[in-house]
Amino acid sequence: MVVKVYGPHCASTKRVLVCLVEKEIEFEVVPVDVSKGEHKDPEYLKLQPFGVVPVIKDGDYTLYESRAIMRYYAEKYRSQGVELLGNTIEERGLVEQWLEVEAHNFHPPAYDLCIHVLFGPMFGVTSDPKVIEESEAKLVQVLNIYEERLSKSKYLAGDFFSLADISHIPFLDYIVNNMGKGYLVKERKNVSAWWDDISNRPSWKKVLQSYRAPI
């Protein structure tokens, strides 16, 4: 059965798509144009009552929140495609740990930076230099911790690619390739090597080739 992914060409949607490609799951993207308010349409709100993207439909099953969707498919299809949760309970614990780090430490400043540098006009946000400065400072602290972690392992959860790495790719791509902030990554040897690795995954390249929209 083909999974339907409802969402725009944004970071959270791309996060899900990379996971689906890695797990060799067939999917169809149903575009949702947030600039036209389609995420607030009554039909969409039946799928996602908070009006947030993305959401998936898998037969009669509906699920939203991008990280929850990734966890669901990585678990449901563990024997298919790339193993993204680790092979032991300890490895799984580290995957979950770094997914939480991404959600609570990396994502907030990365999101704020993107909104104020890239997407402000689209969302009616006036760019605030103070927010940009504070967000970048927070990211520096986070990436310094990543630099130390990645001196000990190839990927965040260990020497295996996982959901924790996937979850970082879309916003790191904005930072490196769209915002002129690539120095945040390139000035850190281990973070830079990690980024070069994960950004060259065939799954990410496939998603980029298929969905070239600016966000």
pLDDT tens digits along 28-43: 999 999 888 899 999 9
The tens digit of pLDDT for each residue in 78-136 reads 999 999 999 999 999 999 999 999 999 999 999 999 999 988 766 777 888 999 999 99
Contact between 190 and 164 (Cβ < 8 Å):
no
Distances from the Cα of 90 to the Cα of 67, 85, 86, 177, angstroms: 20, 10, 8, 34
Structure tokens at 28: 């169809």
Q: What is the pLDDT of residues 156-189, one digit of tens each?
A: 999 999 999 999 999 999 999 999 999 999 999 9
Residue showing tokens 């006009």 = 121
Task: Supply the pLDDT for residue 212.
Answer: 60
Distance CA 113, CA 128 (A): 10
Domains, the chain, with CATH or none: 3-83+205-210 (3.40.30.10), 89-200 (1.20.1050.10)
Report the amino acid identity of residue 70.
Answer: M
- Confidence (pLDDT) at 123: 72
User: What residue has token string 């970048």?
Assistant: 136
How far apart, in whole angstroms, are the C-alpha atoms of residue 171 and residue 195? 11
pLDDT at position 215 is 44
DSSP 63-102: EESHHHHHHHHHHHTTTSSS--S-SSHHHHHHHHHHHHHI
Average pLDDT over residues 54-74: 98
User: Per-residue pLDDT for 193 more than 50?
Assistant: yes
Please give the single-letter amino acid code of residue 174.
Y
pLDDT at 210: 83
pLDDT score at 121: 66
